[in-house]
């Protein structure tokens, strides 16, 4: 036996981290199988098959972890199968539980807004109050106010309405338009797999299922996949140094949900550090801002022109209606929520603003080391807000993973094909090939 130093052991562990991923994904497949067993109706053959697939996949991954299979060759294939099992399970849950359950008031309001828009009415100028009665549907999660009522205004930019128009027009899928959200989440997962090197192809499965099943969350009415997808596209083009394309995609993400807005000043700091003169900064910053505006107003300009006051009031509802909303979240606001120590909303607003300024100052100072942290600024700021909802953090997991790929320059290039044409498909324990 060769005596190894701690450094040698750590180097060997880094070279074989893909084995750990096999076990981690296997654990998540067991969790998926257990969830399917508890949710899907008994006696249905599709339920039985999917549960067998989930547990069988888990057992197969456990065995593969010790077989020294060449993941340069099999990485994408294993990831594709795991993604298939997850997607099949999610689609089945959505299918068997089809009905008028909207999961969240945000999805209900988007459904109602789409119908108003297709009828020629301005959804930003309308109350969302009649929505539940219109569809005779139940809502699991509403946005409560301090007077005991719930928010009844559309509170997102137009991307959260227009994204559902194709499904509403074609009539595909169920009443609550969850198929659009699920499709967006599938695209997010697929993009992460395809952009990962083959030995890390299973990592996106961990990202999508680790904290919570983001595909199920999408099918259940969480709208965030609609902004995550264009934001990942913006990061993709930013890494490729195609600045204009990146700016337009970021504008589309910002035109879908306000969550990504804090990223913009950090990106301007990035541009400042990468340009060698004030004139160069002005030129590139102007083009970037123009791209942001093009993407944002491609979705929102018709509604702005339709009724600028109504659009502004609706989009700023999370801020303008702040005094009416109750404390919710998993950050420091939980002290107030649980009654440990009551603090006013103004205190959390101050913390939020201060955290944003401090984060930008640190980013300016340590930009060279923190470049890709620009894309992760929103959850760092929103953690201090009095409404630090869990989704603010779980949906930045795909963003954080992709930022790590980009910062480490691990994003897979389309012209790299060696992983598809290996010299062998089995690895020896020493890392060679015996095939």
* Residue spans of the chain under pLDDT 70: 1-3, 9, 41-43, 96-103, 136-142, 144-149, 173-175, 318-324, 414-435
Q: Is 422 left (phi over 0), alpha (psi -120 to 50) or beta?
A: beta
* CA 410/CA 211 separation, integer angstroms: 23
| Rounded CA separation 383/57 (Å) | 36
Contact assessment for residue 207 and residue 401, using Cβ atoms and an 8 Å cutoff: yes
Q: Looking at residue 422, what is its pLDDT? A: 42
Pinpoint the alpha helices (H) of 196-277: 203-209, 214-219, 225-239, 243-254, 263-274
Position 38 scores a pLDDT of 81
pLDDT of residue 128: 84
Q: Which pLDDT score is estimated for 418?
A: 41
Which residues, 6 or more positions from 325, have their beta carbon under 8 angstroms from its beta carbon? 143, 144, 145, 146, 151, 318, 387
| Per-residue confidence (pLDDT) for residue 407, from 0 to 100 | 94
User: Residue 427 has what pLDDT?
Assistant: 44
Q: What is the number of other CB atoms lying within 10 angstroms of the CB of residue 298? A: 16
At 367-415, the pLDDT tens digits run 999 999 999 999 999 999 888 888 889 999 999 999 999 999 988 775 4
| Dist CA 240 CA 52 (whole Å) | 42
């Amino acid at each position: 036996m060769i005596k190894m130093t701690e450094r040698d052991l750590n180097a060997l562990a880094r070279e074989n981290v893909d084995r750990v991923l096999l076990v981690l994904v296997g654990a998540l497949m067991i969790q998926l199988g257990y969830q399917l067993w508890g949710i899907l109706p008994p006696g249905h053959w599709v339920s039985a098959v999917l549960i067998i697939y989930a547990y069988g996949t888990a057992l197969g991954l456990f065995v593969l972890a010790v077989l020294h299979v060449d993941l340069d060759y099999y990485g994408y294939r294993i990831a594709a199968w795991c993604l298939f099992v997850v997607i099949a399970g999610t689609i089945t849950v959505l299918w068997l539980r089809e009905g008028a359950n909207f999961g969240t008031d945000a999805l209900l309001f988007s459904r109602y807004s789409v119908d108003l828009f297709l009828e020629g009415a301005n959804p930003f100028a309308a109350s969302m109050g009649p929505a539940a009665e219109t569809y005779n549907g139940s809502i699991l999660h509403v946005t409560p106010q301090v007077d005991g009522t719930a928010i009844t205004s559309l509170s997102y930019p137009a991307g959260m309405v227009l994204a559902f128009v194709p499904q509403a027009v074609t009539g595909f899928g169920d009443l609550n338009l969850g198929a659009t959200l699920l499709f967006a989440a599938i695209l997010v997962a697929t993009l992460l797999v395809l952009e990962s090197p083959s030995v890390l192809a299973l990592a996106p499965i961990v990202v999508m299922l680790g904290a919570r099943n983001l595909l199920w969350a999408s099918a259940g009415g969480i709208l965030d996949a609609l902004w995550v997808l264009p934001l990942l596209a913006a990061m993709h083009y930013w890494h490729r140094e195609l600045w204009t394309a990146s700016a337009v995609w970021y504008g589309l993400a910002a035109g879908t949900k306000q969550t990504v807005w804090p990223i913009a000043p950090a990106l301007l700091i990035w541009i400042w550090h990468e340009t060698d003169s004030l004139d160069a900064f002005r030129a590139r910053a102007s083009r970037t801002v123009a791209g942001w505006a093009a993407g944002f107003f491609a979705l929102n300009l018709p509604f702005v022109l339709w009724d600028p006051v109504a659009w502004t009031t609706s989009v700023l509802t999370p801020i303008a209606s702040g005094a009416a909303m109750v404390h919710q979240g998993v950050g420091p606001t939980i002290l107030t929520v649980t009654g440990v120590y009551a603090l006013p909303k103004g205190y959390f607003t101050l913390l939020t603003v201060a955290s944003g300024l401090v984060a930008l100052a640190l980013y300016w100072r340590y930009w060279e080391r923190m470049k890709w942290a620009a894309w992760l600024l929103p959850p760092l700021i929103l953690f201090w807000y009095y409404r630090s909802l869990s989704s603010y953090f779980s949906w930045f997991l795909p963003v954080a993973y992709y930022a790590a790929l980009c910062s480490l320059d691990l994003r897979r290039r389309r012209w790299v094909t060696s992983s598809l044409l290996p010299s062998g498909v089995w690895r020896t324990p020493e890392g060679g090939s015996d095939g």
